């Protein structure tokens, strides 16, 4: 089954992610992902749902290059990953923003320095980093907590720092694992608005979530559902994805 | 946070490990031993060189018949082309030498037959063949003995000890490298979470390795410098107290100023080694990741 996500009409570009008969197993265990066959089109906004243990996090790991598939083919940004040398991986990763479910903030760095990490890794000038980071911390409502280290932040604040870190370098692909799991409804709305803004600027977005209200609130977003490591299409919508009218 | 210079991954990304930092102490102790063993190796090398240089082109002529024949023998030898110096060894000196083995009474006894001895120095590069031919013609009973051949076993032993000393220095370097490798691996494990985050957001192996390289280089430099200062201090103290360390060979110092400089540079060599080992260790650890 080949399904296409995203809206060609929005970006006018091709697939940013292509999975071709991808399978994944850890060690000698059973396959946790089976025969994944899909595309995410550039500029698309896609939700990934499914019950716990369905393989959402494993799929995310494949997408943010923390794991290599045990079979099949993945193309990212138009390039075949299995052909890419290991030295090329950091350049791919810098084009991907990741919001981890467990935030993965560096505990002894301030919120500011955590958000600044992708820019420092990319070797951006300090002046540019300061401007971008302050702007983003202000956006997620943490301007006054810039100097605070993660252990002194609430779960919701940590999540916002993690999101700010994921988007600060304007990634081409944003992968978020339950990004609104620890924030209140108002902040969830703000974060969704941030994702939509990024999406309008051309960032392809994939969000793994159980939050149906989030999915419902995002007009035109595509939906992928994983069950038992396979993509399923109980409604038929995956086979015939609606054109995304654009996110407002 | 101001200015336009490119940012880097600073040292603040890695917190110091909790508890005592053992690597600098261990490297300090190893460097202390390395300096002492290295100094011994250099002293032995210098001594061997001085002894060999002193014996080069030196020969000894022995002739049975007593000290009274020494002067005519020396006169004969002096006439041979290429002979720079021919000095008869005084009988008293021969007896004094023999007294060490035979005891003073026997050495002084007139019943003891003494040979005539002449120390001969040939010009550099001159073959002993003309001297040998002259002696064969004019003093067929005389024996021509080569200093280097006589000193051969001594020189071999000195060179063996020197080799052992330098092997020990290499062993110390290996032990230091192992200490750095363990410390780097331990630091990597302690900061694995941070490294995974940085790796996941696009840090290169080189950037991640640099974090550990800086740290291990600094620790090796601190520990190594302290160890080297203590080692060199002990050597200088030995010099002041006994004078032995610097004058093993009578005709020159056992340690030259250049040797002291070489020993003083060992902490820098240690720091460079630590840097390379840390880089290799992190590279290997990261190779396990995608």
- How many angstroms separate the CA atoms of A106 and A112, rounded? 11
Q: Same domain, yes or no, for B33 and B64? A: no
Q: Which of B108, B123, B138 is the last residue of a domain?
A: B123
Asked whether residue B139 is domain-assigned, the answer is no
Name the minimum distance, in Å, from the CA of B182 to any CA of chain A.
24
CB contact under 8 A, B196 and A104: yes
Q: Is residue B147 in a domain?
A: no
Residues B37 and B95 occupy one common structural domain: no
B128 domain-assigned: no
Q: Is residue B9 part of a domain?
A: no
Indicate whether B108 and B82 sit together in one domain.
yes
Mean pLDDT across the stretch B52-78?
83
Residues B216, B262: one domain? Answer: yes
Q: What's the whole-number mean pLDDT along residues B253-268?
A: 86
Q: What is the structure's pLDDT at B97? A: 83
Residues B42 and B65 in one domain: no
Suggest the residue from A26, A94, A99, A106 to mutate for an interface test with chain B (most B CBs closer than 10 A): A106
**Contact state of A108 with B15 under an 8 Å Cβ cutoff:** yes
Among B201, B204, B207, B287, most A C-beta atoms within 10 A, so best to mutate, is: B201
Q: Are residues B78 and B208 in the same domain?
A: no
From chain A, pick out residues whose CB is under 8 angstroms from the CB of B211. none
Q: Please tell me whether residues B194 and B238 are part of one structural domain.
A: yes
Residues of A in contact with B207 (CB under 8 A): 121
Q: Which residue of A has its CA nearest to B205?
A: A87
The mean pLDDT of B22-39, rounded to a whole number, is 90
Task: Look over chain B and give the mean of its residue pLDDT values, rounded to a whole number.
Answer: 83
Taking the C-alpha atoms of residue B39 and residue A26, their distance in angstroms, rounded to an integer, is 55
What would the pLDDT profile of A134-160 be if each residue is shown by its tens digit?
Answer: 999 998 889 999 999 999 998 888 988
Residues of chain A found within 8 Å of residue B202, distances taken between Cβ atoms: 90-91, 93-94, 118, 121-122
Q: From A86, which residue of chain B is nearest by alpha-carbon distance? A: B290
Same domain, residue pair B44 and B187: yes
How many beta-carbon pairs under 8 angstroms link A with B?
82
Q: Which of A34, A76, A71, A62 is nearest to A208 (CA)?
A: A62
Residue A236 backbone zone (phi > 0: left; psi -120 to 50: alpha; other: beta) = left
Quick one: B91 and B29 in the same domain? no
Three-state SS for B37-79 is HHHHHHHHHHHHHHHHHHHCCEEEEEEECCHHHHHHHHHHHHC
Let me know if residue B175 belongs to a domain: yes
Mean pLDDT of chain A: 84
B36 and B72 housed in the same domain: no
Q: What residue of A is the nearest CA neighbor of B208? A: A121
| Per-residue pLDDT reduced to its tens digit, A101-135 | 888 999 889 999 999 999 999 989 989 999 999 99
pLDDT reading at B3 higher than 60: no
| Residues of chain B contacting residue A57, judged by C-beta atoms under 8 Å apart | none
C-alpha count within 13 angstroms, C-beta hemisphere, residue A33:
29
CA distance B173 to chain A (A): 31
Strand, coil or helix: what is A52?
A: coil
| pLDDT at residue A24 in the model | 94
Same domain, B239 and B273: yes
pLDDT in tens, A49-85: 888 888 998 999 999 998 899 999 999 998 998 888 8
Contacts with A122 from chain B: Cβ below 8 Å: 202
Report the domain count for chain B. 2
**Chain A residues inside the 8 Å CB shell of B288:** none
Highest mean pLDDT among A169-173, B102-106, B207-211: A169-173
pLDDT of residue B249: 45
3-class secondary structure for chain B? CCCCCECCCCHHHCCCCCCCCHHHHHHHHHHHHHHHHHHHHHHHHHHHHHHHHHHCCEEEEEEECCHHHHHHHHHHHHCCCCEEEEEECCHHHHHHHHHHHHCHHHHHCCCCCCEEEEEEEECCCCCCHHHHHHHHHHCCCCEEEEHHHHHHHHHHHHHHHHHHHHHHHHHHHHHHHHHHHHHHHHHHHHCHHHHHHHHHCCCCHHHHHHHHHHHHHHHHHHHHHHHHHHHHHHHHHHHHHCCCCCCCCCCCCCCCHHHHHHHHCHHHHHHHHHHHHHHHHHHHHHHCCC
Average pLDDT over residues B22-31: 89
- Which residues lie across from A176 on neighbouring strands? A99, A207
Distance between terminal CA atoms of chain A? 30
Nearest to A89 among B6, B194, B290 (CB): B290
Q: Are residues B96 and B178 in the same domain?
A: no
What is the distance between the alpha carbons of residues B91 and B115, in angstroms, rounded to a whole number? 9
Mutation pick from B5, B202, B286, B289 vs chain A, by most beta carbons of A within 10 Å, is B202
Question: Which of B80, B102, B123 is where one domain is finished?
Answer: B123
Domain assignment of residue B130, yes or no: no
Q: Does the structure show a pLDDT above 50 at A35?
A: yes
Task: Compute CA distances B68 → A133, B16, B117, B182, whole Å.
Answer: 102, 81, 10, 73
Q: Which of B5, B6, B198 sits opposite A117 (nearest CB)?
A: B198
Nearest Cα to Cα of residue B76 among B159, B163, B146, B144: B144
B7/A124 touch (CB, cutoff 8 Å), yes or no: yes
CA B201/CA B174 separation, integer angstroms = 35
Contact criterion met (CB < 8 Å) for A117 and B12: no
**A64 within 8 A of A99, measured Cβ to Cβ:** no
Contact residues for A229 (Cβ-Cβ < 8 A; gap 6+): A31, A32, A33, A34, A54, A55, A58
Nearest CA in chain B to A100: B197
Pair A134, A142: CB distance under 8 Å: no
Q: Is residue B95 part of a domain?
A: yes
Give the helix/strand (H/E) hosting A71. Answer: strand A71-76
Tell me if B204 and A90 make a contact (CB, 8 A cut-off).
Answer: yes
Closest-approach residue (CA) in chain A for B12? A109
Cβ separation of A121 and B207 shorter than 8 Å?
yes
Of the residues A121, A132, A163, the best mutation for testing chain B's interface (the one with the most B CB atoms within 10 Å of its CB) is A121
In-domain check, residue B212: yes
Q: How far is B4 from chain A (nearest CA, A)?
A: 5
A169-183 pLDDT, tens digit per residue, is 989 999 998 888 777
DSSP secondary structure, A139-208, as one string: HTT-GGGTT--GGGS-HHHHHHHHHHHHHTT--SEEEEESTTTTS-HHHHHHHHHHHHHHHHTT-EEEEE
Cα separation values, A18 from A8, A190, B113, B135, Å: 14, 30, 104, 97
B251 pLDDT more than 60: no
d(CA B209, CA B218): 14
Residue B89 CA to residue B70 CA, distance in Å, equals: 8
Range of the domain at B92: 58-123
Are the Cβ atoms of B9 and A121 closer than 8 angstroms? yes
For residues A77 and A13, the answer to whether their CB atoms sit within 8 Å is no
**CB A5 within 8 Å of CB A38:** yes
The DSSP 8-state label assigned to residue A125 in this structure reads: B
């Amino acid at each position: 089954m080949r399904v296409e996500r995203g809206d060609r009409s929005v970006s006018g570009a091709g697939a940013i992610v292509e999975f071709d008969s991808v399978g994944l197993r850890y060690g000698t265990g059973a396959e946790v992902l089976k025969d994944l066959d899909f595309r995410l089109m550039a500029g698309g906004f896609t939700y990934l749902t499914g019950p716990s243990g369905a393989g959402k996090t494993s799929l995310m790991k494949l997408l943010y290059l923390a794991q290599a598939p045990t079979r099949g083919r993945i193309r990212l940004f138009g390039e075949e990953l299995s052909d890419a040398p290991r030295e090329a991986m950091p350049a791919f990763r810098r084009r991907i923003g990741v919001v981890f479910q467990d935030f993965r903030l560096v505990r002894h760095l301030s919120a500011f320095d955590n958000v600044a990490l992708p820019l420092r890794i990319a070797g951006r000038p300090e002046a540019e980093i300061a401007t971008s980071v302050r702007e983003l911390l202000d956006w997620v409502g943490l301007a006054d907590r810039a100097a605070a280290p993660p252990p002194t932040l609430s779960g919701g604040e940590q999540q916002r720092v993690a999101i700010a870190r994921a988007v600060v370098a304007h990634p081409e692909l944003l992968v978020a694992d339950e990004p609104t799991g620890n924030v209140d409804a108002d902040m969830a709305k703000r974060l969704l608005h941030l994702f939509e803004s990024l999406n309008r600027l051309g960032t392809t977005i994939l969000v793994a979530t159980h939050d149906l209200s989030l999915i419902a609130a995002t007009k035109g977003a595509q939906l992928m559902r994983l069950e038992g490591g396979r993509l399923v299409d109980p409604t038929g919508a995956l086979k015939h994805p609606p054109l995304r009218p654009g996110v407002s | 946070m101001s200015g336009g210079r490119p940012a880097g991954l600073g040292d603040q990304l890695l917190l110091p490990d909790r508890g005592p930092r053992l690597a600098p102490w261990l490297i300090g102790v190893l460097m202390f031993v390395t300096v002492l063993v290295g100094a011994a190796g250099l002293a032995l090398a210098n001594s061997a060189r001085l002894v060999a240089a002193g014996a080069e082109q030196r020969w000894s002529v022995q002739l049975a018949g007593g000290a009274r024949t020494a002067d005519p023998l020396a006169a004969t030898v002096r006439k041979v082309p290429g002979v720079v110096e021919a000095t008869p060894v005084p009988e008293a000196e021969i007896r004094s030498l023999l007294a060490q083995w035979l005891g003073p009474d026997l050495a002084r006894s007139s019943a003891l037959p003494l040979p005539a001895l002449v120390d001969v120095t040939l010009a550099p590069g001159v073959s002993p063949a003309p001297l040998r031919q002259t002696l064969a013609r004019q003093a067929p009973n005389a024996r021509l003995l080569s200093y280097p051949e006589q000193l051969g076993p001594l020189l071999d032993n000195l060179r063996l000890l020197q080799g052992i000393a330098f092997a020990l220095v290499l062993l110390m370097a290996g032990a230091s490298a192992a200490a750095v490798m363990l410390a780097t691996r331990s630091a990597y494990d302690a900061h694995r979470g941070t490294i995974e985050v940085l790796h996941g957001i696009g840090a290169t192996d080189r950037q991640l390795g640099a974090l550990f390289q800086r740290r291990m280089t600094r620790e090796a430099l601190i520990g190594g410098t302290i160890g080297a200062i203590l080692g060199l201090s002990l050597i200088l103290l030995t010099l002041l107290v006994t004078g032995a360390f610097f004058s093993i060979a009578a005709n020159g110092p056992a340690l030259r100023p250049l040797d002291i400089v070489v020993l003083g540079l060992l902490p820098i060599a240690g720091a460079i080694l630590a840097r390379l080992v840390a880089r290799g260790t992190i590279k290997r650890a990261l190779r396990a990741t995608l």
